[in-house]
Structure 1
Amino acid sequence: MIYTVTFNPAIDYVVRMEKLEIGSVNRSREEALFYGGKGINVSTVLKNLGVDSVALGFVAGFTGKAIEEGVAALGVKADFITVSDGVSRINVKLKAGEETEINGKGPNISDAELEELYKKLDGLTDGDCLVLAGAIPPSLPSDVYEKIMARLAGKKVDIVVDATKDLLLNVLKYHPFLIKPNNFELGEMFGVTLHSDEEIEEYAKRLQALGARNVAISMAGDGSMLLTETGETYRMGVPKGKVVNSVGAGDSMVAGFIASYFAEHDYKKALKYGAATGSATAFSEGLATKDQVEKLLGQF
C-alpha cells in the first residue's frame, strides 16, 4: 500500500480577478476551492490514475472537517488525526495577472498527537511505500522526517521525500527510495546556480553519494532527469501544451512516477509517466486525470 503524509493540509481558496488594487475593495471574477497539501495532492492524483493510497496527516476545526469531507468526495481514503488546538489552514491564491499567495499557519500539533501519527506509521510493512512531502509546520520538531525514517529503518518500506534544502539533505542518510528536487532547489542545496544538464547531473550524483537511491530533477519547461540506483541517467522532455496551473504539478509528477514504477518496475517508463502526469496538471485547472495523462504520453 502507498501512504502519504501531509503535516499541514489546507483549503486552497483560488480567487481570479482582472486586477488587484492594494488598499481598495476588489471583486472577484471567479472562485474555486481545492483540498490540498502536497501529500493529499499525491493521493488524489494516484486515485485519478486508478491507484489506491491512504492519506495521513493532521486536521483541525471546521476547516479540518471540510478537508476530510472534500478528500472523501474525491474518493481518496484518509486516516487523519484530529488536532485540538487551532484550525486547518486556508491558503488564499489571488490570480490577477501575477499570482499572489497568502498561506495560513495551521493548528498547533501536540507531542501526543504526533505520537499518534508515529503509531500509525509503525503499522507499515515490507513492500509499502511512504511519501513525505512538503514543509513542516512550526509546532513540530524540525527533524520529524528523520524521526519517521529512523523508526522505519528496519523495514523494507520505500520512502519518497519531496522537500527542500536541509529538510531533504538531513534525511539522505536513511537512503530514501526517491527524492525530487527541482533544478533551482538542487543548486540551492549546494550554494550554486546550475546552467547545464552536465552540472545538474553532477550535483544529483552528489545527492546519491549522500544516500539517495534515485534522484529525479524537475526542470519545468526544460523537462526532467532521473539518476537511478542502478547507474542509469534518463533525460525526458515535455509534451506540447499551454501551462495554466503550476500548483500540484510536482506532486503529480511524484504520483505518476510511483504509479508506473510499482506497477512495472521500469525506471525509464516511470520517468516518462511522471513527466506526463506533471504536465497534465500544469495544462489544466485541476489535478491530472488518467485520460489527460494517456493523451500526453503519445508525445514522448
Structure 2
Amino acid sequence: MIYTITLNPALDHIIETNGFNIGETNYYQKDYEVVGGKGINVSIILNNLNADVMSIGLLGKDNMHPFMDVFNSMKVQNNFLHFEGKTRTNFKIKNLTAKQETEINGLGCPIDEKLLNDLKQYLKSNLKEGDIVIAAGSIPNGVSTSVYKEIGEICNDSKVIYILDTSKQQMVEALESKPFLIKPNIEEICEILKKPYKKYSFDEVFEMIKELRKLGARNILLSKGKDGSIYFQENGSIYQAGIATGKLVNSVGSGDSMVAGFAYGLYKGLDIVNTLQYGAAAGGATAFTRWLASKNEIENLVTTIKVTKK
C-alpha cells in the first residue's frame, strides 16, 4: 500500500487573463477551481496508474465537499481527518499573453494538536513493512516544524519507505529521520544549507549533495525543470534523466506527478532507470494537460525519456 499525506491541502482557484498589472483593475476571461495539495496530487496520479493508494491528511469541514467529490468520482481511497473551519484557498493568476503565473497562497487555519496525534496513531496502526509513505507539501498554520520528522520516525519504526517532498525548516528537521527520498530543486537545497541561490557547477552541486547526506538525506532526486533531473542514489550512482517533449499547458502539479511516477516505480519493483522514466513521464504528461495526467498519457511518454548513468 502507498499512503500519501497532505497536511495543508488547498482549493486552487485558477484565473486566466490576457493581461495582469499590479495596482490596476484587471479583467479575466475564465476561472475554475481544482482541488490542490501536493500529497493529494500524488495520490490522484498513483490512482490513475492503478496503484493501491490511500490519501490521508487534514480537511476543513466547511469546504470539504469539492475534495470528497473528486475522491468519489475518481475512486481514490481516502481517510482525511476534519477540522472546524475551511481548507485554505490559493489563487493562481495565469497571464496567458505574457505566459506568466502569479500565485497568492493561503496559510490555512490553525490545527488542533489532537488531530495530528490522531493521524500519527492511524499511521502506527495501519503501516506494514514494505509500504510506501509520501508526505508532501507545506504544513498548516501553527503546526510544529518537527511534524514530518515525527512521521519519519513512525515510518522507520514500521520499516516502510518514507518519501518527503517539502521545504524550509520542516525539511531540515525531517532529514534527521533519514527519509528514503527527497526531491528538492537547487533553490530549496540552498535554503536548507543556507547558501546563496545562484548557478552552481555540477561539482559544486555534488558537494551540496554530500552535505545533505550528512544531514540525513539518503536518495536525492534533484529537479532541474526544463533541464530534467539528476538522481543521486544512496549507493553512489548518479543518473541523469531527461524530459518529455510536448506543449506546456499547466505546470502546476508536475513536480508532484514526478514524485508519484517515481513512487510507482518503487511500488512495482522496477529498476532505477525505468523508475526514473516513470517519474519524468508523469511530470511531463501533467505539464501537457490541464490538470493531472491519465495512465495512458503517462505511459505513452515513458519510453521517450532518456536516462543515462553519469
The interval holding the TM-score normalised by the smaller chain is: over 0.9
The CA deviation at 1:83 is 0.4
Counterpart Cα distance in 1 of 2:270 and 2:70: 32
TM alignment of 1:163-202, pairs within 5 A = 163-190=166-193, 191-192=195-196, 193-202=198-207
Q: Deviations for 1:110-156, whole angstroms, at most 9, x for unmatched residues? A: 01111111111112121111111111111211211112222333221
Give structure 2 stretches of 5+ with no counterpart.
306-310
More displaced stretch, 132-141 vs 27-36: 27-36
Q: Partner amino acid for 2:129?
A: D
Corresponding residue for residue 63 of structure 1: 63
Counterpart Cα distance in 1 of 2:302 and 2:270: 18
Q: Partner amino acid for 2:44?
A: T
1:110 paired residue among 99, 109, 112: 112
> Secondary structure of 1:104's match?
coil
> Secondary structure of 1:28's match?
coil
The CA deviation at 1:213 is 1.9
TM alignment of 1:212-231, pairs within 5 A = 212-231=217-236
The CA deviation at 1:24 is 5.6
Corresponding residue for residue 308 of structure 2: none
CA RMSD of aligned residues (A): 1.8
Deviating runs (4+, > 6 A) in structure 1? none
The CA deviation at 1:200 is 2.3
Q: Partner amino acid for 1:288?
A: A
The CA deviation at 1:29 is 1.4
Counterpart Cα distance in 2 of 1:121 and 1:169: 22
Q: TM-score, normalised by structure 2?
A: 0.90
Confirm or deny: 8 A CA contact 1:145 1:171 kept in the other structure: yes
Q: Deviations for 1:211-244, whole angstroms, at most 9, x for unmatched residues? A: 2221100100111011112221111111222322
Counterpart Cα distance in 2 of 1:74 and 1:234: 34
Corresponding residue pairs, total: 299
Counterpart Cα distance in 1 of 2:219 and 2:137: 18
Give structure 1 stretches of 5+ with no counterpart.
none
Structure 1 residues 198 and 68, CA gap change in structure 2 (3 angstroms):
same
> Secondary structure of 1:153's match?
helix
Q: TM-score, normalised by structure 1?
A: 0.93
User: Is residue 2:90 matched to residue 1:91?
Assistant: yes
Q: Deviations for 1:157-213, whole angstroms, at most 9, x for unmatched residues? A: 110010113322222221111111012212332204342333323322322233222
Q: Percent identity?
A: 39
More displaced stretch, 69-78 vs 252-261: 69-78
More displaced stretch, 200-209 vs 18-27: 18-27
Confirm or deny: 8 A CA contact 2:7 2:58 kept in the other structure: yes
